[in-house]
Amino acid sequence: MKKITSAYNRKAKWALSIAALLLIMTGCSISGVDKQDEEITQEDLQAASQIIGESLSDETSGIMGSLNDALTGISSDGFVRTTSAKSLSDDDDDDNSGRGRESNFTYSYDPETGTHTLTFLRSITKPNFSKSVKDTLKYIFTDNSGAFIAAPRVNRERIETIDFKGSREGNVNTPRKNSFFVRNDTFLIDGVSEASNLLLIDGVHNGEGNFEKTNDQGNTVDRSYELEINFLDVQIDKSVVRQNQSLEQGVTGTLTYEMIVEKTNNGSSSTKTIRGTVEMNGDGTALLRFERFQKLFQINLDDGDVRDQDDEFEGRVTSVNIENSTFTLAGGRVVRITDETTIENDGDLFSLQEVADALQAEKRVEAEGDGFLDDDVFVATQAKFETEDDDDDVEGKLDFDAFISSVSVEDSTVTLQDERVIRITENTVIDDSGDYMNLESVQDALNQGQTIAADGEGVESDEEGVSIVASEIEFELEDSDSGDDDDDDGSDDDN
């Protein structure tokens, strides 16, 4: 992938992207062959939505998986934790990404091209989910002058651009779904340093494979496919990512796609071309649209779950209109509550007024449910409203999870590798499940060349030179947290 070195080149690429979108929306094939006269069935659209959901999902090693990997710090012995991507914890039973559980690592660096190469296996086996994926990731880190960064871990603050290529081959299996895939992602990510509030991403995704799923009627939907997805105006808001510890919550923009699907039936096969757009909403979901069809699906960017917008809804509530008995989701969907709507009792809020009050109190409210479309309004027959935990609703609350660069026992502060300064007070709870229980022992370990991570939460500080006042903090030795059994002499830790 060529590095974009000027504003002119960026604008040129933007113009080409817009031209490509216009071609898609007018029904012209990027391959030069228009196949849109083929009959595309509802079953085809259902299959296409599931394939694109997997191709986007973090848990199924899709585009969001590549973005998380691209923005997770690397070293010669694998991944290191940063605040730009998801935590690499082994303790999250709901996380099927496999991040933090890699095996069979290899690493190399080519100083002539500036390319860091990682290969590894991600394998997960659970009662209702399993996957095994072989990954090959290539990174080129450059600073604002275009110079290569050979040691990205210790020079993280210098990184301005990441040229990333990810190749993955594997399979995912659930009780109702089996898929085999080969995925290739190529990204150019600008604005990595703290000088920018936004990450700007140019990219393309190519994938192929076979997808098989049992639908609600008990019928098997089986398709082979080739897929190309192009980025248009994709960006990530760093402040949203820091607040939610999730790239999915911070990513917005539009993708265009073209998919060739093949169906085999009784020894004969047929192919169809399906095109459209994906709009990422900045709330962890995306809206999937098809060219020439009104059908609309919503995709969860984390797990790839697909909801048919004709009879389901899910998303973050942005506003409430009590007079009209409606609320609006982040993607723009308007949902109406009626006297026949059942509000589930296992949620946190049980009326629109409670939802409005929660929004007024600056709480995050998530809604999901079933119903039907009535013109442009979705009428809910069933709805559920959930808020974040009370601990997450503290105004100014911030999470942190990064490696420590230094400690000042005298000032009671910890400085992270991303240059944030964490204040420890007499009210700070130091987690006794960690490896160190005071700043003196952390400082001694750093002086001995150990790598220590600080994981915790607090509130934004108004003290000059201090970023966060910690309410809770845990100090973890890298080896004990990563779970690696291999001896590490530390000789490559600067990479």
Residues 428-455: tens digit of each pLDDT: 999 888 889 999 999 999 998 888 989 8
Whole-angstrom distance, CA of residue 484 vs CA of residue 102: 10
Arithmetic mean of pLDDT, 64-93 = 68
Pair (160, 278) in one structural domain:
yes
Pair (324, 438) in one structural domain:
no
The DSSP 8-state label assigned to residue 39 in this structure reads P
Pair (254, 131) in one structural domain:
yes
Is 46 a member of any domain? Answer: yes
What is Dmax (Cα atoms) for the chain? Answer: 77
Give the pLDDT confidence score for residue 417 in this predicted structure: 80
Checking DSSP bridges between strand 468-477 and strand 429-430, what pairing results, if any? parallel
What is the band of 389 on the pLDDT scale with cuts at 50, 70, 90?
Answer: low
Read off φ and ψ for residue 63, nearest 5 degrees: -60, -45
Please, are residues 45 and 123 in contact by the beta-carbon 8 Å criterion? Answer: no
Q: Which residues are CB-neighbours of 493 under 8 A, at least 6 positions away?
A: 75, 76, 77, 153, 451
Give the pLDDT confidence score for residue 414 in this predicted structure: 94
Name which of 201, 99, 79 is nearest 152 in CA terms. Answer: 79
How far lies 90's CA from each of 87, 100, 175, 400, in Å? 9, 6, 24, 17
Is 489 a member of any domain? Answer: no
Tokens of 48: 């296409």
Arithmetic mean of pLDDT, 216-233 = 88
How far lies 151's CA from each of 187, 418, 419, 492, in Å? 20, 15, 17, 9
Asked which of 340, 360, 391 is the last residue of a domain, the reply is 391
Give the pLDDT confidence score for residue 81 in this predicted structure: 55
Q: How many domains does the chain have?
A: 3
Residue 488: pLDDT over 50: no
What is the band of 94 on the pLDDT scale with cuts at 50, 70, 90?
Answer: low
**In this predicted model, what pLDDT tens digit does every residue of 146-194 receive, in sequence order?**
999 999 887 888 999 999 999 999 999 988 889 999 999 999 999 998 8
Give the pLDDT confidence score for residue 268 in this predicted structure: 76
The helix/strand/coil state of 235 is strand
Pair (222, 334) in one structural domain:
no
Asked which of 280, 309, 338 is the last residue of a domain, the reply is 309
Pair (76, 176) in one structural domain:
yes
Is 164 a member of any domain? Answer: yes
Write the DSSP string, 111-131.
TTTTEEEEEEEEEEEETTEEE
Is 490 a member of any domain? Answer: no
- The rounded radius of gyration (Å) of the Cα atoms in the chain is 24
Whole-angstrom distance, CA of residue 299 vs CA of residue 272: 22
What CATH number is attached to the domain comprising 371? 2.40.50.320
Is 256 a member of any domain? Answer: yes
Is 324 a member of any domain? Answer: yes
Is 185 a member of any domain? Answer: yes
What CATH number is attached to the domain comprising 469? 2.40.50
- 20 compared with 428, residue with greater pLDDT: 428
Pair (14, 133) in one structural domain:
yes
Angle at the Cα of 108 from the Cα atoms of 104 and 114, rounded to 5 degrees? 145
Please, are residues 181 and 54 in contact by the beta-carbon 8 Å criterion? Answer: yes
Angle at the Cα of 117 from the Cα atoms of 233 and 205, rounded to 5 degrees? 30
First to last CA, the chain: 23
Q: What is the mean pLDDT of the chain?
A: 83
Pair (417, 387) in one structural domain:
no
Name which of 173, 89, 54, 167 is nearest 124 in CA terms. Answer: 173
Pair (14, 113) in one structural domain:
yes
Whole-angstrom distance, CA of residue 45 vs CA of residue 38: 13
How far lies 126's CA from each of 28, 41, 45, 94, 174, in Å? 44, 34, 29, 10, 9
Residue 289: pLDDT over 90: yes
The DSSP 8-state label assigned to residue 390 in this structure reads G
Pair (183, 328) in one structural domain:
no
- 100 compared with 5, residue with greater pLDDT: 100
Give the pLDDT confidence score for residue 216 in this predicted structure: 67
**In this predicted model, what pLDDT tens digit does every residue of 353-364 receive, in sequence order?**
999 999 999 898
Pair (376, 419) in one structural domain:
no
Record the pTM. 0.69
Element (H, E) at 356: helix 352-360
Neighbouring C-beta atoms of residue 15, cutoff 10 Å:
10
How far lies 299's CA from each of 25, 44, 177, 178, 280, in Å? 21, 17, 16, 18, 9
Is 1 a member of any domain? Answer: no
Whole-angstrom distance, CA of residue 106 vs CA of residue 101: 14
In the chain, helix, strand, coil percent, each to 5?
A: 15, 45, 35
Read off φ and ψ for residue 409, nearest 5 degrees: -65, -40
**Domain span at 362:** 313-391
Asked which of 356, 391, 426 is the last residue of a domain, the reply is 391
Name which of 310, 241, 273 is nearest 28 in CA terms. Answer: 273
Tokens of 432: 């006794």
Whole-angstrom distance, CA of residue 450 vs CA of residue 15: 49
Pair (98, 220) in one structural domain:
yes
Pair (199, 227) in one structural domain:
yes
Arithmetic mean of pLDDT, 128-145 = 94
